[in-house]
Structure 1
Amino acid sequence: MIKRLLLGAALLCAAQLSLALSPYTHASKLPAAELPAQLSQVEKKLQAEGFSVLGQHLPKGVAGRASLVVADPAMLAAIRASGPSSSIVAAAIRVGVDSEGNVSYMNPDYWYRAYLRGKFAVSQEAVKSVQQRLVKALGEGTGFGGDVPQAELTDYRYMFGMERFDSANSELASYASFDEALKAVKDNLAKGVGDTRQVYEVVMPDKKMAVFGVAMNSSSDGEGWWVNKIGTDHPAALPYELFIVDNKVYALYARYRIALAWPALGMGQFMTIINAPEAIRTTMVRLATAGK
């Protein structure tokens, strides 16, 4: 009887563990080469599987790390079908590369559950297709970066009292129309407001939604200082997103966005970047509102 109970408990624990997801997947390693050449190799592999390249991101101050950002037509169609909605933040697929030839990519099952939330179920075919073609293009190793129970991702937060996806402080600015909001953001990115640079954009004007990948390059409060403190082995975590839905501009608050991208961090590590969430929000607010 006791053995049966212990076996049942072990099976239950195993089942619960199997429902935990990691944010990233190791891919096949590349031969030694300069980082730009490695990015070019990855780009060609992804294009061969039907992905379109949106941009490259080499975070300033984070040595030997880069991400390649691509999009998938079926996933964009699923996002378009949900619009206008915050699902637009899920438009980009991020692949990380480092100077040693290590490649990793965001786990679609993890990130789409968090970003699509209630829209995830109707997008599962597109999610599976993205996963299968990432594996075909880049290979599939072990997951890494932490484990979050699958059921928690739709309404994820790192701990009690911290922000979720739809927290009020993710809203940055409001305009009279989508067109006005889009113009303000594009103008500010073109000017490099807040020492930023546009990495990519996906704009769906008919659905009144858009998303931009933003490089934050300030040596004092850009992404370099906080990424180096919490770990540079997640290059597929970046770039950070700024997005527009209808007439409002948003950026996911960093106590949510950083925690989602680095879920294995301890509270002590988070305390070393305690100023990062507001620094990021300040930069994003400037992009959303400068010149209003």
Structure 2
Amino acid sequence: MKKLLTVLFGAFVLTLLGFSGKSGELQASSGEPTGEVSAYLQGAYIGVADAQSKLTAGGFEVVAAFESVKEGTTIVFTCPTLKREAAKPNRANIAAMRLFVDDKEKRISLANPVYFGKAYMQKDYNHATFSAVKAKLEKAFPGLKDSEDKMKFKDLAGFHFTIGMPYYEDTKILGEGSSADLLAKLKAYKGGKDLAFEIKISNDTTLVGYAVGAGTKRFVDKIGRANAGLMPWPIVVSGGKATMLQAEYYIAMNYPLLGMGQFTGIALIPGDIIKDLSKPFK
């Protein structure tokens, strides 16, 4: 009885903290991981040009290189498999994978397709599909190792940082209008200098990477430059709306080891990001 009460109490605490996800969404299918999955695959340092060459040789399309932090570059890349998965309803964010080249700390860090695939594809996740993309990256970059940033695989689809915080589907609408008009506004604002990349997914859906203000993006230095590859911010233009993943979700998903104290230290950042990304649509 004592052991049973301990188990029940532990489950109750996890639910209060918000790490247990939504019921009915976390059942692992055959072949899916049963434990933790790393958010990143890390490797020995190579320069931006060499990293881009390896991606291209490995069958990936390099979309853009973006200075995400001082002495650090995010290489955004995709492939036909990712685009195909992204074409499913409300799944556009998975089209862009990221490789962060850290010239300061001399290391590279790639987004793990299995980790972000499960998070962004939710019930549409297919493990064979995303493990195959991961295998292509491991072939292109031999010697990759799992990062310390990890989360239980079963928790990824229903993740939110804590009680009252947004889930994947709780996106923020930045602007409304035809896809053509919304994209035109993003390109016109400040001469388009903040538009980092575009990935056309269908006739009506485009995934865009956009820069937030210089002051806003300094939060990365506060909580750890190792995961700076989350910048530029993804915006989905589709169905007459431009939407973004809520900052409380997107930051925590990219920083699975983020503590409550660290999050409190950047408490104003989610609001600042919305302000920055709303400006092109005013």
Under a length normalisation based on structure 1, what TM-score does the superposition of the two structures give?
0.79
Give distance in 1, aligned partners of 2:233 and 2:143.
Answer: 25
The percentage of aligned residue pairs carrying the same residue is 23
Residue aligning to 1:95: 99
- Deviation string 1:84-117 (CA, Å, 9 cap, x unpaired) is x321111111001111431110011110111111
* Segments of 4+ moved more than 3 angstroms: 189-192
What secondary structure, in the 3-state scheme, does the structure 2 residue paired with 1:165 have?
Answer: coil
Matches within 5 A, 1:251-266: 251-266=244-259
Asked whether the 8 Å contact 2:86–2:93 carries over to 1, the reply is: no
Residue aligning to 1:40: 49
Letter in 2 for 1:87: R
Letter in 2 for 1:39: V
- In structure 1, stretches of 5+ residues that fail to align are 1-16, 31-37
Matches within 5 A, 1:33-182: 38-59=47-68, 62-80=69-87, 82=88, 85-99=89-103, 100-121=105-126, 124-167=127-170, 170-175=172-177, 177-182=178-183
Asked whether the 8 Å contact 1:75–1:126 carries over to 2, the reply is: no
- In structure 2, stretches of 5+ residues that fail to align are 1-32
What value does the CA root-mean-square deviation take over the aligned residues? 1.9
Asked whether the 8 Å contact 2:186–2:192 carries over to 1, the reply is: no
Residue aligning to 1:183: 184
Q: Which structure has more helix as a fraction of its residues?
A: 1
What secondary structure, in the 3-state scheme, does the structure 1 residue paired with 2:70 have?
Answer: coil
Give distance in 1, aligned partners of 2:38 and 2:102.
Answer: 19
Question: Given the alignment, which residue of 241, 244, 247 partners 2:237?
Answer: 244
Matches within 5 A, 1:182-261: 182-188=183-189, 190-192=191-193, 197-206=194-203, 208-218=204-214, 220=215, 222-223=216-217, 225-261=218-254
Under a length normalisation based on structure 2, what TM-score does the superposition of the two structures give?
0.82
Asked whether the 8 Å contact 2:213–2:276 carries over to 1, the reply is: no
- Count residues with an aligned counterpart: 249
- Deviation string 1:109-141 (CA, Å, 9 cap, x unpaired) is 1101111112213xx443122111110111243
Give distance in 1, aligned partners of 2:197 and 2:206.
Answer: 11
Asked whether the 8 Å contact 1:189–1:198 carries over to 2, the reply is: no
Give distance in 1, aligned partners of 2:164 and 2:227.
Answer: 25
Give distance in 1, aligned partners of 2:257 and 2:225.
Answer: 13
Give distance in 1, aligned partners of 2:242 and 2:77.
Answer: 22
What secondary structure, in the 3-state scheme, does the structure 2 residue paired with 1:263 have?
Answer: coil
- Deviation string 1:20-72 (CA, Å, 9 cap, x unpaired) is 11211112333xxxxxxx1000111111011111001112xx33211111111
Q: Which moved more, 1:263-272 or 1:131-140?
A: 131-140
